[in-house]
Structure 1
């Protein structure tokens, strides 16, 4: 009987040690924007690379439940007919009830602000050096934004900064 307790305790300690390491590795490697999504966002692009991210899908005193990513882009070309979300986004089917937006110039319109207000007003962007300018970029008139809103538990916001060739991607998928 004691042998089983020792084995169980050993396995439990191993899991407690390995799980945080695996979570950290997955968080560094995971990229939500795969090639099929990128082809829907831009008319064309040469290269897009994830620069940094913040995972706010966790318990916190502020209640934020979203992820934000910053991508460096090279030679990305916007078009007024894009993003072309077509039938789905991140494997979720787009229906007549889905609220979508093509690229629009900043600052945000009232619909976008109401849908994503919680993400625009959070103070967590100061946690990451590379995301500190997000709030400022929302009001930059040369930047563009787009979004897909399925429901209160799943929606996405994109902000493209033309002068920096950067793409911010906010992702809520609970």
Structure 2
């Protein structure tokens, strides 16, 4: 079984320093990546959705054994939708590459190219708590575009990724600002 975390050591031993100079996948600026790990609230919500999908699939199996195949097919389709929702929930957030910043939501995604970014700044403002309608005082990373208009909120410290993790929020905000400075 290949162990990708040993690749750099093996390349240094077998092929010399030239093979080790190739960037690892997480160092490749052309590859889109998230500047932070998904938070426990987001991962927990996805885990609950996957648990629900397993119950729905189990009920589809029972319904199929009972003889109602069309009803079992409906249950399987519902379980597939719940699984796709869980995957999409984990993939929401901010993704960056050398071309721009991608703000991925549950149902939509917006890409802002680095030349279109006028400024990225962290401000104190009312933010939504876990994406719910309730607002609390917190920090938000705002993306201001060159053409003007209302700034776009990229991250908040009360989102499902950063609630209770202020250091992770600061590191993600610094990473986004650093990439903006490098590629603008």
Asked if Structure 1 and Structure 2 have the same fold, meaning a TM-score greater than 0.5 normalized by the shorter chain, the answer is no
* Higher fraction of strand: 1
TM-score by length of 1: 0.26
TM-score by length of 2: 0.25
